[in-house]
Amino acid sequence: MVKLRISWSEYRRRIERVREEMAERELDVLLLANGKHIFYLSHFTHMTTERPAVLVVPPDGDLIFLGPLLEADHLKHQTRLVGEVRTYLDYPGERHPIDLFAEWLTDLGYGKARIGADNPAGAAGAYGYTGPPLSEKMPDATFVKAGDILWKMRLVKSREEIALIKESAKWGNLAHRLLQEYTAPGLWDVEVSLMASLEASSVMKKTLGPEYEQIRPGRAPASAGFRGQVGPKSAMPHSIGVGRVIKEGDVLVTGAGADVGGYNSELERTMIVGRPTPKQERYFEVMVKAQDAALEAMGPGVKCSEVDKAANKVIVEAGYRDLIRHHTGHGIGLEGHEPPWLDIGNDLELRPGMVLSCEPGIYDLGYGGFRHSDTVVITEDGAERITYYPRDIESLTIL
């Protein structure tokens, strides 16, 4: 049976690792305001809004939640790792939540403590939130930035995490297959995306059954689309949308993935509507060779910068230095972009268990963009590409 979430035993191991690091840094308590950090340690997911919420990690015992009542209402349905829960009605309220946090933490014995925090302000600061920093309200405590504890842990994925990402890749593959089948001249890219994502999500849910539950809000469980990377706008890697429909001769850059246990994968392809022109074939060929070079370079002990250099070398030697718009890749896990970065300025060495995208691209503004992205797991003796959609131009041509 497919496992669709991280086990409670793994969450407990994560908490113990955090506590070991806290002891080494002589921290009396750790506060987490980052929503993904909270989920990583507790399996509690919530929509980060203007309302401050903090997960308190004491040196022993259950975790503690401080936050809005509307989030605490569903906390007990998601996790068994949080004990005490203290809530306020809403923000800004009769008393500002940060005032309450300071009072509650002092009541818990941390008024004069050495407090580690991923955000010493005590709030994520989203949606126009304003408020005093928590450190200002607790003058007798010492605040230490400690968010790197979680980021370092998240760099290397466990077997359970990799299994979820591989399952995500399977459903991302289906979503992309449907996207390509539905793509045709005369359709708006958003229409194609919605049709493919709906069908893929429906099949995914029927296959995985009642145990499957969506974790990431705002997207279909299995999704694929173009995000406006259509025709000339395919040369804009972070395009948001396009007003016109898909036309014959367009270059299309896609994206697909799926939410499995809160984890994601990344699959992107360059598709061409109609028979490719010689110019399109040339750009496509150079892009694939650059990705091949990056994939071949990836492995344990290899610096992230070396992977970026390997891909860029192919592009530069082809005469397209000015068509580079971004580095070769990034980490993937609970977030679509997270460390490590496959960037010329990052000399961090790849380690077994790291999961990254590999996506060098070339972009001719006003004409088109060419990028494939695959999800890669670093292994003990190399690298495994876990997204497996075809990469050749014949398979990605829509006639």
**What's the confidence (pLDDT) of residue 136?**
95
pLDDT band for position 216 (cuts 50, 70, 90): confident
Rounded CA separation 58/13 (Å):
15
Are residues 175 and 143 located together in one domain of the fold? no
**What's the confidence (pLDDT) of residue 396?**
98
Are residues 112 and 162 located together in one domain of the fold? no
As a whole number, the mean pLDDT across the chain is 97
Assess if residue 112 is contained within a domain: yes
> Mean pLDDT over residues 351-359, rounded?
98
8 A C-beta contact, residue 328 and residue 342: yes
H or E stretch at 148: helix 148-155
Beta strands (DSSP E) in 185-318 are 222-225, 251-253, 255-258, 270-273
Beta bridge partners of 374: 358
Q: Rg of the chain over CA atoms, in angstroms?
A: 23
- Given a cut of 80, whether residue 1 has pLDDT beyond it is no
Are residues 185 and 263 located together in one domain of the fold? yes
Which tens digits make up the pLDDT trace of 54-70?
999 999 999 999 999 99
**What's the confidence (pLDDT) of residue 219?**
86
Are residues 350 and 230 located together in one domain of the fold? yes
Assess if residue 1 is contained within a domain: no
**What's the confidence (pLDDT) of residue 326?**
98
Are residues 270 and 308 located together in one domain of the fold? yes
Are residues 64 and 192 located together in one domain of the fold? no
**What's the confidence (pLDDT) of residue 299?**
98
**What's the confidence (pLDDT) of residue 159?**
97
> Mean pLDDT over residues 20-39, rounded?
98
**What's the confidence (pLDDT) of residue 190?**
97
> Mean pLDDT over residues 233-239, rounded?
96
Which tens digits make up the pLDDT trace of 362-394?
999 999 999 999 999 999 999 999 999 999 999
Higher-confidence residue: 2 or 305? 305
Are residues 119 and 186 located together in one domain of the fold? no
In sequence order, what DSSP letters do the residues of 57-92 get, joined into one string? E-SSS-EEEEEEHHHHHHHHHH-SSEEEEEEESSSS
Beta strands (DSSP E) in 106-149 are 114-117, 142-145
CA–centroid distance for 90 within its chain: 29
Assess if residue 2 is contained within a domain: no
The percent of residues in the chain predicted with pLDDT above 90, rounded, is 96
Are residues 221 and 309 located together in one domain of the fold? yes
- Given a cut of 90, whether residue 218 has pLDDT beyond it is no
Are residues 203 and 146 located together in one domain of the fold? no
Are residues 170 and 197 located together in one domain of the fold? yes
Residues 6+ apart with CB under 8 A from 9: none
Beta bridge partners of 362: 370
Residues 6+ apart with CB under 8 A from 147: 32, 34, 37, 117, 118, 119
Say if pTM beats, i.e. exceeds, 0.75.
yes
**Of 134, 152, 170, which marks where a domain is finished?**
152
Assess if residue 3 is contained within a domain: no
- Structural domains of the chain, count: 2
DSSP state of 32: E
Assess if residue 144 is contained within a domain: yes
Which tens digits make up the pLDDT trace of 145-196?
999 999 999 999 999 999 999 999 999 999 999 999 999 999 999 999 999 9
pLDDT band for position 289 (cuts 50, 70, 90): very high
Helical packing angle, 8-24 and 35-42, nearest 10°: 120
**What's the confidence (pLDDT) of residue 317?**
98
| Peptide bond just before 340 cis, omega within 30 deg | yes
DSSP state of 222: E
Domain at 371, CATH number? 3.90.230.10
Assess if residue 232 is contained within a domain: yes
Domain at 27, CATH number? 3.40.350.10
353 lies in which domain range? 156-398
> Mean pLDDT over residues 197-207, rounded?
98
Q: Which two tokens stand for residue 109?
A: 């014995």
**What's the confidence (pLDDT) of residue 85?**
97
